[in-house]
Structure 1
Amino acid sequence: MNQTICSSFKSWILLSFLFTNSLLYSQNPLSEIKMADIPAGFFYMGGNGEGSNYDEAPIHKVTLTKPFKMSVTEITNAQYEAYDPAHKAYRGKNGISVHDNEAVVYVSYNDAMNYCKWLSEKEGKTYRLPTEAEWEYACRAGSYLTFSMDDGLPGIFHKNQQIVRDMKPVSLAVGETPANKFGLHDMHGNVEEWCLDWYGPYVADDQTDPVGMKHGLYRVTRGGSHNTPEKYLRSSNRMAMIPEDKHAQTGFRIVQADYPESEPLAVSAQAEQPVKVPQTKYNWKKGVTRKPFFLPPVPYVIEPACNSGIPFYRHNHQPAITWCPNGDLLAIWFSANEENGREMVVLGSRLRKGGETWEKASLFFKVPDRNMTGSSLFNDGQGRLLHLNGVEASGDWQNLAMIQRESTDNGATWSAPHLIAPEHTKRHQVIAGTIQTREGWYIQPCDAGPGSHDGAAIHISKDKGKTWSDPWDGQPAEFKPNGTGSTIAGIHTGIVQLMNGDLLALARGNSLPDANGVLRMPMSISKDMGKSWTYYASEFPPIDGGQRLVLLRLSEGPLLLISFTDHPIRTKKENRGMLFADASGMSYRGYGMYAALSFDEGKTWPVKKLLTDGTYRFLNGGAWTGYFEMDSTHAEPRGYLAAVQSPDKTIHLVSSRLHYRFNLAWLMEPAK
């Protein structure tokens, strides 16, 4: 067969394959997209905006001037894979969406948009995602009840609403729940659905064919999903996602209609409003003093004004802190009603240069209706701040993706969040305490699982935060007491690099017995940059619930540990406290938060000091700590700690609510 004939034969085979595939698609009932006619009309969009649903207010009138068609169900695997056959690799991931007739998941916003573009070109009609207004209008179908059919969700809709820490495999078969009055199935649950709009605040004015915001950080999703509480499936409930995010709880449905000609709203869709921050570089070194000092603790968690619109909940916890080049301090923490709640936001406060009072809390970071557990702040010393955070697909703090943002203007503004560990899985619960190694690498510690004995992991960036990787080799993350394993022993770890290049970590949980059989805080050493760890019993008492330690290297050289003498509830009374030395060399028993110093790379810790100046105070430690008395023998009994040493050599320690300031000279000075 000559070259020309061979080429023609190959072309004929290719054309025949494409024609056959197209014919099979058009004849395959699983690939057919049934469309419902949605009439033009008006409705009142939104809700009362109470509590965590603040973004549903104000209720406003919306008019949709043109009828449109909407897919009766969410797009299925068979329908989507006619466009992208490679997506079949996601079938059954985490036990979700196995069959042709199940809603497609693991699709990003751009994936959904590209599908619409492909279908439009294929059929010669305009297909697109629904606007948020079109979606709610179609969902309500003329109803102003909580759900389109009732005030509560009927039992038949509960087939996929199991709420478990590990996502439970369920059927995502479309069309198995009753249709609403417009003939649409699965508008409440099954999978969340991408909408066209950028997420942003509602406005009170009447709107016609609205298309949302001109710019934004997140794209709207609607409808709620499997493995999600019922309240997130309401007609008015608003959610959103980072556009490149994809996971097992979000898919999409489509509309057939021209794109609206309306102008988008010019209101900023950035939930975190820029803060007015001076940009003059501060000479931190002029504040260096050799005199020992310990300043009275002050609160940094300051409730915002009631009319500020900033969400503030009853539980404020898990802080991070850094210094800014302009002389300010910046602290962040999560605020939530429940630690596994989707209402969780990350709030921030600032202590201005030379100031003594922290500012009222402001919104620092929030992906709408996602759990935000785990935050870290890091100053690279070159004028750039990094913020790393966990982002859940729904609630709980187990299966998180990791995002990163950067600021080059002292935290006044931040870049859009981008995914640095996009898989929603374990080993991604960010812990405050990012470090930079002598190689110039960044190391970010993370809890390896949601349990108190699941250990900790690290992520490493060798290119100043552009990319990150987990050195874990995929072997079972076993913890073998007094042996080796693939995780750090304990959670909520603090990490330092030793002078020989090894990594040293101390943590909570996975306590180890010492030579006398007494349980101690575990110490983990890695000689291969986190691929494997060897475990030892340290000399320190273990800590427990509501407690998180700090471990860092001071600029003067020694290692600093800040932890707690015991757990005030879970420790037997006779075992509480530690022995400390006073100025005369006499020992006394102290209770609560203490500091320890090592001058030989963690081998010994000759200096231990209770973190109190001896002055009597009655303080509120917030979160799990609550109220406590500080005096010469009692310091804060528990709290989640984070710390940073600013260039003026001041150690800034934050617990769950309070900010402490002291220096190495004070730590070295015997208690009076």
Structure 2
Amino acid sequence: MNYINLLFIFLFVSKTAFAQESNTIGMKLVSIPTGRYYMGSEGEGENADEAPVHRVAISKPFRMAVTEVTNAQYEAFDPDHKKLRGKAGFSKDDDEAVVFVSYPEAVAFCDWLSKKEGKPYRLPTEAEWEYACHAGTVTDFSTGRFLPKSYQKSQKTDRDPVVVSLKVGQTPANQWGIQDLHGNVEEWCSDWYGPYEAADQRDPVGRASGWFRVTRGGSHGTPMTYLRATNRLGMIPEDKHWLVGFRVVQAEQPASQPLPAIPAKANAQNVSQKPFSWKTVSSSQPVFREPIRYANKPDCDAGVPYYSHNHQPAISWCSNGDLLAIWFSTEKESGREMTVVASRLRAGQSRWDAPSEFFKVPDRNMTGSSLFHDGKGTLFHMNGVEASGDWQNLAMVLRTSRDNGATWSAPQLVAPEHERRHQVIAGLFQTKEGWLVQACDADASSSGGTAVHVSKDGGKTWVAPYTDPQKPDFKTGASGGLIAGIHAGVTQLKDGSLMAFGRNDNVSGADGIPKMPISLSKDMGKTWTYSPSEFPPIGGGQRLILRRLNEGPLLLVAFTHHPEETDETRKGMLFTDASGKPYKGYGMYAALSFDEGKTWPVKKLLTDGKYRYLNGGAWTGAFEMDATNAEPRGYLALTQTPDNLIHLISSSIHYRFNLAWLQEKMVRETAKP
């Protein structure tokens, strides 16, 4: 049977009457006939997961709910859910689509309804959902190439959610009598998310296992492309928010065998499990190795989702001697295509592996990552996960690995609410008490402070210690619940208090000139006090580092000024060369404190004086390094391996040096050729 004949049958069937029947909770269902269709699209870029187009046979008829499950219907099963009506402003009425329902809760509803009705209810498979949505069409929408305005509800990325009615059944039914398949709310499907295969399939049920369950249909507060019939989304099963609900089908579960689980990505393949023998770098011999690029573009045919903007890295050492770096790759920082990719510098190698995908919740913005090795063999990965696009309404998820990143635990929602104060910053660390501390931007804007999240049980549970929900007035120096400045670097002092440096929310010094703010907390992040540091403020495209070195001193890595600074007197900083002469240097520098941040006697421009042409990627781009110029901006991340070598990465470049080199005065001999 050819494609034209199939389409004719679909269109003929669609003109017949699809009788509805109602069950005991007032849910209307309509019969969906058997048939074949072409699933997926010839998607590219962020829609590559819709390919390849493949023919699917639906061999048994099923009944599908005409609309999504409503509040009234769901609360017949779970009366306590009524407490969530109106959360974030959405879904207050009986006849609005239920939201804030996780995958396990949706499955539990189906089980309850099956027992109540004496008929099998379940979530639709992804193939059944798309089949019913197309209803015999092959266009992006069942309405054709375009979606009429009557279906649209704030179809754009809303940083602050725009409240709309989620009342079901307000848009025209498709050819098979089903409503609300394009928008209103996303809908859980039963499949584990995974790539398609090209072969013809009969009643497919997705992958055998995975990390994410498929959702379909798009929602309000979403650009219209995500409402297409073929668009694929996904979520951590335990996640729930104002964009996602579900509908049910009445049918036995298909007997089909699932496709195999997704194979490991390149960064998790051939990972050595042999413990590495670290040889301590000399504490007296200065070491500065040639800067190398770690963010290398993969081959075009590698199948790696890699976009034009690569930024916001994190880095950690592994017990096998590898270094593991991760960062986001995207077209725009508020994009749903954003994914987290990873690269390894394998022990004994001089070149980083080509990047491969590391962590991606389908069609969700993934802003903010951190990596940390606890020194006992466990790697921690923390990441932000948006409800949609943008990077404001993030939940926080944690994964761990005990085999050098070859495998990871399932993502755990450690801060499940999609809200501010969850934008993860590289720099997760462990206190002397053994507690984990994760810093997160408190606001999606260029200022607004940083919050900390603390776990006292190895990452199992987390608390946000801050108590003041109001944005503090950083300039007064009064106590507040947040660190001054976004993208803050945080460390613990020997007396148990926390110290932090941040970007923006600057505090003026005695001379009236704005300075990078210092924040101090004596109660593990509940409250902070603010004062000006001796360092110049930093700005857009710049992120600092503050951490304690293995040898004991505190290390700050920041920038002398922002490249867009127009006041010449505020450009650069004074440094001292090997002959004792002061000179003005520009760009990335390091400062050391041996008295818990009271003074910073060592300040060094992060260059060995050799001329180089480099490209820092992201917001940095090309720059020249020489005796007086270092990288002008970049998002910094740092790890220090057990051999005491310091590994600093910017948005693209990997620097390697030791404490002895930082303390050595630079010989300024090399000039630009």
Smaller-chain TM-score bracket = over 0.9
- Are 1:486 and 2:481 counterparts? yes
Match of 1:648 in 2: 643
Mapping of residues 577-596 of structure 1, within 5 Å: 577-596=572-591
Mapping of residues 249-264 of structure 1, within 5 Å: 249-264=243-258
How far residue 159 of structure 1 moved from its aligned partner, in angstroms, is 2.7
- Are 1:543 and 2:559 counterparts? no
- Are 1:576 and 2:571 counterparts? yes
Mapping of residues 191-590 of structure 1, within 5 Å: 191-268=185-262, 274-288=268-282, 290-481=284-475, 482-590=477-585
How far residue 302 of structure 1 moved from its aligned partner, in angstroms, is 1.0
User: Is the CA contact (8 Å cut-off) linking 1:201 and 1:269 kept in structure 2?
Assistant: no
- Looking at structure 2, the residues matched to 204 and 582 of structure 1 have their Cα atoms a distance apart, in angstroms, of 64
One-letter code of the match for 1:567?
H
Closer/same/farther in 2, CA of residues 495 and 571 from structure 1, 3 Å limit: farther
User: Is the CA contact (8 Å cut-off) linking 1:30 and 1:79 kept in structure 2?
Assistant: no
Match of 1:5 in 2: none
- Are 1:597 and 2:585 counterparts? no
* 1:158 equivalent among 149, 152, 156: 152
Structure 2 counterpart SS, 1:484 = coil
- Looking at structure 2, the residues matched to 63 and 572 of structure 1 have their Cα atoms a distance apart, in angstroms, of 68
- Looking at structure 2, the residues matched to 478 and 30 of structure 1 have their Cα atoms a distance apart, in angstroms, of 53
How far residue 164 of structure 1 moved from its aligned partner, in angstroms, is 2.2
- Looking at structure 1, the residues matched to 662 and 528 of structure 2 have their Cα atoms a distance apart, in angstroms, of 30
Match of 2:8 in 1: none
- Are 1:624 and 2:614 counterparts? no
Closer/same/farther in 2, CA of residues 622 and 273 from structure 1, 3 Å limit: closer
* 1:179 equivalent among 173, 177, 180: 173
- Looking at structure 1, the residues matched to 426 and 266 of structure 2 have their Cα atoms a distance apart, in angstroms, of 21
- Are 1:144 and 2:138 counterparts? yes
- Are 1:34 and 2:28 counterparts? yes
- Looking at structure 2, the residues matched to 143 and 571 of structure 1 have their Cα atoms a distance apart, in angstroms, of 58
Mapping of residues 6-85 of structure 1, within 5 Å: 31-85=25-79
Deviation string 1:424-470 (CA, Å, 9 cap, x unpaired) is: 11111110001111111110011011011110000001011111111
How far residue 151 of structure 1 moved from its aligned partner, in angstroms, is 1.1
Match of 1:606 in 2: 601
Structure 2 counterpart SS, 1:122 = helix
Closer/same/farther in 2, CA of residues 584 and 269 from structure 1, 3 Å limit: closer
Runs of 4+ in 1 over 4 A off after TM superposition: 28-31, 269-273, 286-289
How far residue 152 of structure 1 moved from its aligned partner, in angstroms, is 1.9
Closer/same/farther in 2, CA of residues 288 and 327 from structure 1, 3 Å limit: farther
One-letter code of the match for 1:388?
M
Bigger mean CA offset, 534-543 vs 351-360: 351-360
How far residue 574 of structure 1 moved from its aligned partner, in angstroms, is 3.4
TM-score (ref. length: structure 2): 0.94
- Are 1:86 and 2:77 counterparts? no
Closer/same/farther in 2, CA of residues 162 and 370 from structure 1, 3 Å limit: closer
User: Is the CA contact (8 Å cut-off) linking 1:200 and 1:271 kept in structure 2?
Assistant: no
- Looking at structure 1, the residues matched to 425 and 213 of structure 2 have their Cα atoms a distance apart, in angstroms, of 27
One-letter code of the match for 1:502?
S
- Looking at structure 2, the residues matched to 374 and 224 of structure 1 have their Cα atoms a distance apart, in angstroms, of 24
- Looking at structure 1, the residues matched to 199 and 276 of structure 2 have their Cα atoms a distance apart, in angstroms, of 45
Match of 1:25 in 2: none
- Looking at structure 2, the residues matched to 529 and 285 of structure 1 have their Cα atoms a distance apart, in angstroms, of 35
Match of 1:10 in 2: none
How far residue 271 of structure 1 moved from its aligned partner, in angstroms, is 6.6
- Looking at structure 2, the residues matched to 215 and 148 of structure 1 have their Cα atoms a distance apart, in angstroms, of 31
One-letter code of the match for 1:437?
T
One-letter code of the match for 1:664?
L
Bigger mean CA offset, 395-404 vs 472-481: 472-481
One-letter code of the match for 2:481?
S
One-letter code of the match for 1:579?
L
User: Is the CA contact (8 Å cut-off) linking 2:267 and 2:342 kept in structure 1?
Assistant: no
One-letter code of the match for 2:459?
G
User: Is the CA contact (8 Å cut-off) linking 1:597 and 1:606 kept in structure 2?
Assistant: yes
One-letter code of the match for 2:28?
K
How far residue 570 of structure 1 moved from its aligned partner, in angstroms, is 3.5
Bigger mean CA offset, 467-476 vs 233-242: 467-476
- Looking at structure 2, the residues matched to 477 and 552 of structure 1 have their Cα atoms a distance apart, in angstroms, of 26
Match of 2:184 in 1: 190
- Looking at structure 1, the residues matched to 643 and 437 of structure 2 have their Cα atoms a distance apart, in angstroms, of 24
User: Is the CA contact (8 Å cut-off) linking 1:272 and 1:365 kept in structure 2?
Assistant: no
- Looking at structure 1, the residues matched to 293 and 432 of structure 2 have their Cα atoms a distance apart, in angstroms, of 34
User: Is the CA contact (8 Å cut-off) linking 2:422 and 2:440 kept in structure 1?
Assistant: yes
Q: Note the aligned Cα RMSD (angstroms).
A: 1.4
One-letter code of the match for 1:65?
S
User: Is the CA contact (8 Å cut-off) linking 2:265 and 2:356 kept in structure 1?
Assistant: no
Runs of at least 5 residues in structure 2 that lack an aligned partner in the other structure: 1-21, 668-673
User: Is the CA contact (8 Å cut-off) linking 1:216 and 1:269 kept in structure 2?
Assistant: no
- Looking at structure 2, the residues matched to 362 and 594 of structure 1 have their Cα atoms a distance apart, in angstroms, of 31
Deviation string 1:301-328 (CA, Å, 9 cap, x unpaired) is: 0111211111000000000001111111
Closer/same/farther in 2, CA of residues 668 and 127 from structure 1, 3 Å limit: same
User: Is the CA contact (8 Å cut-off) linking 1:448 and 1:454 kept in structure 2?
Assistant: yes
User: Is the CA contact (8 Å cut-off) linking 1:448 and 1:455 kept in structure 2?
Assistant: yes
User: Is the CA contact (8 Å cut-off) linking 1:560 and 1:598 kept in structure 2?
Assistant: yes
User: Is the CA contact (8 Å cut-off) linking 1:162 and 1:168 kept in structure 2?
Assistant: no
Deviation string 1:257-281 (CA, Å, 9 cap, x unpaired) is: 1111111112427678732111111
- Looking at structure 2, the residues matched to 647 and 271 of structure 1 have their Cα atoms a distance apart, in angstroms, of 27
Structure 1 counterpart SS, 2:112 = helix
Closer/same/farther in 2, CA of residues 137 and 377 from structure 1, 3 Å limit: same
Closer/same/farther in 2, CA of residues 87 and 651 from structure 1, 3 Å limit: same
Match of 1:15 in 2: none
Structure 2 counterpart SS, 1:588 = strand
One-letter code of the match for 2:628?
T
Structure 1 counterpart SS, 2:208 = coil
Closer/same/farther in 2, CA of residues 443 and 74 from structure 1, 3 Å limit: same
One-letter code of the match for 2:307?
Y
How far residue 41 of structure 1 moved from its aligned partner, in angstroms, is 0.5
Runs of at least 5 residues in structure 1 that lack an aligned partner in the other structure: 1-27
User: Is the CA contact (8 Å cut-off) linking 2:267 and 2:343 kept in structure 1?
Assistant: no
User: Is the CA contact (8 Å cut-off) linking 1:393 and 1:400 kept in structure 2?
Assistant: yes
